[in-house]
Structure 1
C-alpha cells in the first residue's frame, strides 16, 4: 500500500481481501486512513471485509446473503453505511446499528485457583517475561501487531506444554523453567489448517459421523441379506466404491506444462459408489444421496436416531448447517475447518483439563458467526477446560474471563506484558492500547449504545 501511494497512480482498481486480518484496532485506523488516501488520489478501492470500523468508513456497502453456502449468493443490500443501519433485511446492518449484538457475559468465571506458570520467556522479542495462564478460564492474549503474541502463545506456551504432554519433539521457545502446569492433561491447537489434504476427507469422516451412517446402512434388511459390512459403504475401501475412479467421484487428467484437470467419473457420475451399493436405501435415499445432503437437511432426516442427531447438532451449533456432509475437505475455508475441529472436541465424551489454543479464530467470520463461535468456546470452558485465544476482535476480548495485553509497540518495542487481569481492569489501564478500545465498548454497553 505504501508503494502504491508513492507511485501516484490514478484510475486503478485495488481489490483487498480482509486487509484487517491480524491488525490491532490502532493499526486498523491507520489502514483505513491509507485506503482513503488512495481513493482521494482518484482510485477505486474494493474491500472484502467483516470489520465494523472498515464498513462504517466505506462510501458504499454491498451485503451478500442471506445465509452461507447454497443459502447465499444474493445481494441483500447496497448503499451507504447510514442506509444499511436502517435496513430491515440486512443482518450486517442490524449488528452495525446495535439491534443485534454480542453481549458481555453476565458474570465472569473465577477459575480453579491453579495457573500454568512458565518463567523467563525470552524467545524473539519477549523481554524475559513470566507467562501465567489461569486454569479453567477463557484467556484472551491481545496487543498491537508484532508485540509478541504468537511467540508467547504458540512458540512458547504451546510447544513447551506439547513437549511435556504430547511428546512433541520439535523446537520450542526459550524459557528458564516450567514452574507449574496447572493439572493440564492435554494440549490441543485448533488452527485453520485443512482437516484433510485429499478430496477423500470430509466433515463426516473427520468428526466420526460417517461411522454411524455406515452402521445404519449395514443394519438395513437388504444389506444384511446381501452380507454387506460397514466397509461396503466406504469410498476408501474396495468392494462398494466405484473402481473406475477409486471412490473419488473424479478422474485426474494430467496436463503437460499445465495444472492437472479433474473431470467427473463417467462410470458413477460422481456418486463414488457402484450400483450394487447404491441399491441399498434408507428412507428412499442411498448413501451417495445422504452424503450430498447439507447438515441441516441431515439433522431433519436422521431426527429419530439420537447418536447421529446429537453429532449433527454440534455442526449446526458451530454455524455449519449449510455444509454438505460429503463436501471435500479441500473446498472448506480455514474458518470452516476450524469450526469442524471445535465440533469434534465438543463431541468427545471425556473432555476436561485440556488446554485449547486458538490463533485468531474470528478470521473471515461475520458477527453472527462470531456469536456462535463464542458460544462453543464458552461450552468447552464450562466443561472444565482452559482456553487461550490470540485475538484482536473486541467481541471475543470483552467476553474473556482474563486478558494478557502485550506491547507497547511491535518488534523490538514490544514483548512486554503491559497489563494482565479482567476486562474491566484492562479497560481502566491507561498504558494499554487495547484498554482504550475496551473502555469505549464497556461505556457504550452501559449507556445502551451499539
Structure 2
C-alpha cells in the first residue's frame, strides 16, 4: 500500500504542471498567499478526482465529475471535504436539527416529560403506559390503539398521546397550525398596498389599474348599500368608518364581515357587492403563486414577516410547549447554548431515578458525547434555535466537522478549508486536538490554513506560491516545519521562523477628538455594559466566539448609527452618543456584495464604468457607432442576446443540479462580434474581463482613474481576482476587502467611522501585513475604525482593545479588559491577553 498520495502534472486553473506528494495518516497543512492555488489543489483537483475514481469503481456514470486537468493521482483514499460554504438555506433548519441534538431531546421529552391533564389539572407523565407499547416512535405505529387519546391515570378522561412527532416543528403533529412551524407569518404591508390619504378614485389602491379601480370601487360602494355602511369613492379612505375599511380589506365572504352582519347573506354578484377583499385577494394570489417564483417575487413586496400571533414565534403547538423536563419546556431549552444544554442533560441524570433513566440511558449518553464534540470544536456558544441560514461559513464547517468525529471512520482523506476561521486563539488548541484525533485513528487530514499555530503543529507543510493568480500555482516549499522554515524562497517559512513579522504602526495615536459613548447595552447576551471608543483611533473588539462582539458593534452601534443619520427613532437596546463627530458610518460585514448574480469585481468597484467609457472612445468603436452602453453585458445592445451577456447558459437537469454550458453563439465571450472588434492594447472587452487585477494594472497603467482603483484592490491583497469574477464566488473576507478597496478609492474618505468584521478572514500572514498598512493608512487620514478581530497581529497594532468574555453565550457579554494591547496582556482574566503575551 502506498504511504503517500502522489499528484503528477496538475494544471487546473493557475497550477503550473506541478507534482507533489501528500503523506498519508498525517496532519498536512496546505498554505500560501491568497489566490496561490491552494483550493484548486485541495478541492478542484484532489477532491474531485477522489469522487470521480470512487464512482467509477462502483461502475457508475461519472459525466457529472469531469476529470481534473492532471496527469495522474495515485494512492487516493475515499475523501470527505468540509468547506466553508453554508449551503443550507432551509428556513426550518436550526443548529438543533442539523446536529440532530433536537432529535435526541424530542425522545427525552416524549419519555420523561411532565404535563398537566387538561381536565383535572394533575401531573401526567407521557410514558406511564408500558414502554413496550409507548416507544415514542416517529411513525406512531404501536400507538394505533390510542388514536383517540389515552385515559388520564388520575381522572380517567381522555388526553392526547404525545410522541416524538409532537415535539417537532417540522411535523404536523407538533407544528403550530397558524405558521406551520416556522414561527413567522407573512402579514400584508398596508403602506405598500394602499394610500389612506387618497380616495379610491384618486388611485388609493396601488394594486388596481383603472379597470379594477372602477369595477371594485363600484362593487364596494354597492356592498355599502347592501349592508348599510357608506363607502364614498371620492373620499380619502382614512375618513371612512371602521366597517367600510374592514369590508374593503377583507371582502363579503370573510369571517370579519360575517361576524359584523351575522343575519345578512352576502350579495349574489360582484356588481351588487360580492367583492373578494383587498387582503383576501392578495393572500390568495400569493398562495397560488407557489409554482411561479417570478409572480411570487412580485407579490413579496406587499408583505412583511411578523411573529406568529398564535405560538408567539415558538413554532410548536400549545400542548407540546407545556411539557417540561426538570422544570423547562423544549422551547426554552432550545434558546439555551449547547454548553447549557449539556448541563441540562447532566441535571436529568441527577433528578430522575435509576429505573426512569433506564428508559433513556442510551439517549443520555449519546447526547453527552455529541454535545462534548461540539464544545471541542469551539461552537458551544451556539443556541439550538439558531437558524442554520445565519451561521457563518466557519461555524457551519465546525458543526459538520464535529458530526464527523462520531463516525469513527478510518482510512479516509479529510479535506478542510481553514477550520480556524472565526475562532479565538484560545479555541485553536482545542480544534488542533480534534484534527490530531482524526489523524491518530488512521486518517489523512489535509487542511488549507494560514494560522501559524496550526502550521507549527502539522506533520507536513506544503507552501504554494510564490504569488497569487498567474504568479502562483507552484510548490515553493514542502516538508516538516523546520524544512519549510529553512527554505529561503518561502514567505510562509519566514513568518514561521520569525524573520518576517507583522506590521506595526509607528506609535500609539494621541486621542484629540473625544469618544463614542455606548451606555447600558443589553442586546442579545450583553449584560448592561457601558463602554467608550476613542475617536481617531483603531479599536479592536476581541473575545471568544459568542462573547458579544458582534452584538455590540453591529446590533448596537451600527443600528444606532443608521437611526441617527436617517433621523429615525433610536433602538432601545442602548444609548449611544458621539455620532456628531462623524460625517458618516460605513459598515463592512461579510455579506455578499452586489444585489445581482451579474455583479462582478469590476462592476462593484465602478472600474467597469471607466472601462466602458474608454472603449467607447476607441477608433473602431466610433466607426461602429458604439456607445458605453454597448459594452455592458447587463442591457441589450452590444451583448450576446442568446445568453443575455452571461457567456454561459443554464440547462435544467431533472432530478439533478442544473448544468451550465458555454453559450454556443458567443462562445463565452458575452458580446457580439462588432463589440469584440474594438480592442485596447490588443484586448477586447471580453479579454479585459478575463484579466486578473495584477495583469490589468499593466494594461491600464496610462489610465489614471482605472489604475488607481486597481491599485487599491492590490493593496488589500486581491491582485489575483479576475475583473469579471462573479461576486457570488467571493468569500466573506474577499467581499469585505473589496468594499474596503472601493472605499479607499472614494473621493471623500475622512471623518468616517468604519465598522469591520474580521477582515483578515482567509488571509496569509503576508496578506495581513498588507491589509494592516491599509487600515493604518485609513485611520491616519482622520477616520475612526472599530474592528472585530481574532488575529493577534491586528490586535497588537490596535490603539485600543476592548476584550469580551469570559466565554460565549450566557457566560459572555461582559467586558473583561480594555486599554492598549499591553494593558490587555497584563490582565489575568483575559484569554486574549494570555494569547497576546504568548504570541508577542
TM-score, normalised by the number of residues in structure 2: 0.50
Which residue is equivalent to 1:379? 777
* Range moving further from structure 2, 213-222 or 272-281: 213-222
Residue-by-residue CA offset, 1:39-83 (whole Å, 9 max, x unaligned)? 334443332211111110111112222222333333322211121
Are the counterparts in 1 of residues 733 and 758 from structure 2 also a CA contact under 8 Å? no
Instruction: Give the CA deviation at 1:168.
Output: 7.8
User: What is the match of residue 646 of structure 2?
Assistant: 248
1:296 aligned to which of 691, 694, 699: 694
Q: CA deviation at 1:275?
A: 0.8
2:656 maps to 1:275: no
The 1:355–1:45 alpha-carbon spacing in structure 2 relative to 1, beyond 3 Å, is: same
| 2:540 aligns with one of 119, 135, 140 | 140
How big is each residue's C-alpha offset from its partner over 1:423-444, in whole Å with a ceiling of 9 and x where there is no partner? 12212222222112222344xx
The correspondence for 2:491, drawn from 50, 67, 91, is 91
Aligned to 2:449: 49
Task: Tell me, yes or no, if structure 1 residue 186 matches structure 2 residue 186.
Answer: no
CA distance in 1, matches of 2:652, 2:512: 57
Matched, 1:407 2:805: yes
Distance 1:86 1:254, change over 3 A: same
2:631 counterpart of 1:233: yes
Quote the residue 1:434 is aligned against.
832
CA contact (8 A) 1:318 1:376 kept: yes
The 1:321/1:80 distance shift into structure 2, 3 A limit, reads same
Task: State the partner residue of 1:165.
Answer: 565
Correspondence 1:29 to 2:429: yes
Contact kept? 1:151, 1:173, Cα under 8 Å: no
- Count of equivalent residues: 440
Secondary structure in 2 aligned to 1:62? strand
Return the offset for 1:167.
6.3
Show structure 1 runs of 5+ residues with no match: 443-450
- Over 3 Å counting, the alpha-carbon distance change for 1:353 and 1:30 in structure 2 is same
User: SS at the partner of 2:578?
Assistant: strand
SS of the residue 1:293 aligns to: coil
Return closer, same or farther for 1:398/1:168 CA change in 2, 3 Å cut-off.
farther
The answer for the alignment partner of 1:108 in structure 2 is 508
With 341-350 and 7-16 compared, the bigger mean Cα shift is at 7-16
**Equivalent residue for 1:328, pick from 726, 733, 736:** 726
Q: Contact between 1:165 and 1:185, CA under 8 Å: does it hold in 2? A: no
Q: Distance in 2 between matches of 1:75 and 1:7?
A: 34
Shift of 1:104: 2.4
Output the TM-score relative to the length of structure 1: 0.92
Which has the larger displacement, 314-323 or 159-168?
Answer: 159-168
- Aligned equivalents of 1:173, 1:86: Cα separation in 2: 57
Higher relative contact order (CA 8 A, sep 6+): 1
Cα distance between partner residues in 1 of 2:469 and 2:713: 14
Quote how far apart the aligned CAs of 1:205 are: 0.8
> Using a 3 Å threshold, how does the CA distance of structure 1 residues 398 and 38 change in structure 2: closer, same or farther?
same
Is 1:68 aligned to residue 507 of structure 2?
no
CA distance in 1, matches of 2:593, 2:405: 39
Cα displacement string for residues 109-154 of structure 1 (whole angstroms, at most 9, x for unaligned residues): 1233321112000122211101311111111001122211111111
Contact 1:406 1:418 (8 Å CA) reproduced: yes
Distance change >3 Å, CA 112–CA 262, structure 1 → 2 = farther
- Whether contact under 8 Å (1:294, 1:322) holds in the other structure is yes
Please state how far the C-alpha of 1:350 moved relative to its aligned partner. 1.0
Which residue is 2:573 aligned to? 174
Question: Closer, same or farther in 2 for the Cα pair 1:166/1:351, shift >3 Å?
Answer: farther
What SS class does the counterpart of residue 139 from structure 1 fall into? Answer: strand
Which whole-Å CA distance do the structure 2 matches of 1:9 and 1:199 have between them?
Answer: 39
Change in CA separation of 1:249 and 1:9 when aligned onto 2, cut-off 3 Å = closer
Query: What residue number does 1:448 align with?
Result: none
Counterpart in the other structure of 2:657: 259
Cα distance change, pair 341–401 in 1 and its aligned pair in 2 (3 A): same
Equivalent residues of 1:137, 1:381 under 8 A apart: yes
SS across alignment from 1:321 = coil
**Counterparts of 1:6 and 1:311, CA distance in 2:** 49
Root mean square deviation, CA, Å? 2.2
Q: Which residue of 2 aligns with 1:81?
A: 481
- The answer to whether residue 515 in structure 2 is matched with residue 130 in structure 1 is no
User: 8 Å contact 2:624–2:674 — kept in the other structure?
Assistant: no
Deviation at 1:93, TM superposition (A): 1.0
d(CA) in 2 for partners of 1:258, 1:70 = 34
Separation in 1, partners of 2:444, 2:718: 34
What residue in structure 2 maps to residue 308 of structure 1? 706
Alpha carbons 2:469, 2:692 under 8 Å: kept: no
Distance 2:481 2:793 in 1: 21
1:160-212 deviation per Cα after TM superposition (whole angstroms, max 9, x unaligned): 2122225689x95711x233325123222212222235442111111111111
Structure 1 position 337 matched with structure 2 position 739: no
Q: CA deviation at 1:295?
A: 1.5
CA contact (8 A) 1:123 1:173 kept: no
Which shows bigger deviation, 301-310 or 192-201? 192-201
Aligned partners of 1:108 and 1:182: how far apart in 2?
24
Classify 1:214/1:37 alpha carbon distance in 2 versus 1 (closer, same or farther; 3 Å): closer
> Does the Cα contact within 8 Å between 1:232 and 1:277 map onto a contact in 2?
yes
Asked if structure 2 preserves the Cα contact closer than 8 Å seen for 1:18 and 1:364, the reply is: yes
Greater alpha carbon shift after TM alignment, 40-49 vs 57-66: 40-49
Say whether the 8 Å CA contact 2:557–2:576 is kept in structure 1: no
CA distance in 2, matches of 1:146, 1:130: 18
Q: Distance between the aligned counterparts of 2:624 and 2:444, measured in 1? A: 64
Does the 8 Å contact 1:159/1:168 carry over to 2?
A: no
Offset of 1:247 from its aligned partner? 0.9
- Please tell me whether Structure 1 or Structure 2 has the larger radius of gyration of its CA atoms: 2
Answer yes or no: is the 8 Å Cα contact 2:752–2:783 preserved in 1.
Answer: yes
Partner of residue 150, structure 1: 550
Following the alignment from structure 1 to structure 2, what is the Cα–Cα distance between the partners of residues 11 and 229?
Answer: 60
Change (3 A) 1:182 1:396: farther
**Secondary structure of 1:144 counterpart:** coil
Q: Which runs of 5+ in 2 are unaligned?
A: 1-372, 375-402
Cα distance change, pair 168–311 in 1 and its aligned pair in 2 (3 A): farther
Quick check: 2:801–2:819 contact (8 Å CA) kept in 1? yes
Which 10-residue stretch deviates more, 245-254 or 333-342? Answer: 333-342
Between the aligned partners of 2:571 and 2:770, the Cα distance in structure 1 is 33
